[in-house]
């Protein structure tokens, strides 16, 4: 079965590929203009809007050259939940990302890691 290019899973796959390539422009292109990135335990968002997301991840890509591998995925409607293994600066950690995708754009990303 062919996946629609704007399906939540396809959007998250493109975002993940850009993350692994360290391509901050392609990464941010998958987010809505007013998207929010938040840690599950954070009182305040990590980034709100494309400019803040670009700044946050641009610094991370430059400093650490991170790479992520999806260990498992659940997709329900406009939500995609990924269990990921992330390697950055020679260290590995596991994380969970919950993506909400509306009209082919990520509008929300909630993150938790060990």
Q: What is the pLDDT of residues 29-70, one digit of tens each?
A: 999 999 999 999 988 999 999 999 999 999 999 999 999 999
Q: Which one of 3.40.50.300, 3.30.2130.10, 2.60.40.10, 3.10.450.50 gives the CATH number of domain 8-113?
A: 3.10.450.50
Question: What pTM does this model have?
Answer: 0.93
DSSP 29-91: HTEEEEEEEEETT-SS-SEEHHHHHHHHHHHHHHHH--EEEEEEEEEETTEEEEEEEEEETTE
């Amino acid at each position: 079965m062919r996946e629609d290019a704007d399906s939540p899973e396809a959007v998250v796959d493109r975002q993940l590929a850009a993350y692994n390539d360290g391509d901050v422009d392609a990464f941010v292109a998958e987010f809505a203009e007013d998207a929010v990135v938040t840690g599950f335990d954070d009182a305040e968002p990590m980034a709100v809007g494309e400019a803040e997301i670009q700044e946050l991840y641009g610094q991370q890509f430059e400093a650490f050259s991170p790479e992520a591998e999806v260990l498992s995925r659940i997709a329900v409607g406009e939500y995609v939940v990924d269990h990921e293994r992330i390697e950055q600066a020679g260290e590995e950690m596991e994380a969970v990302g919950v993506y909400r995708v509306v009209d082919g754009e990520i509008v929300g990303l909630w993150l938790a890691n060990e």
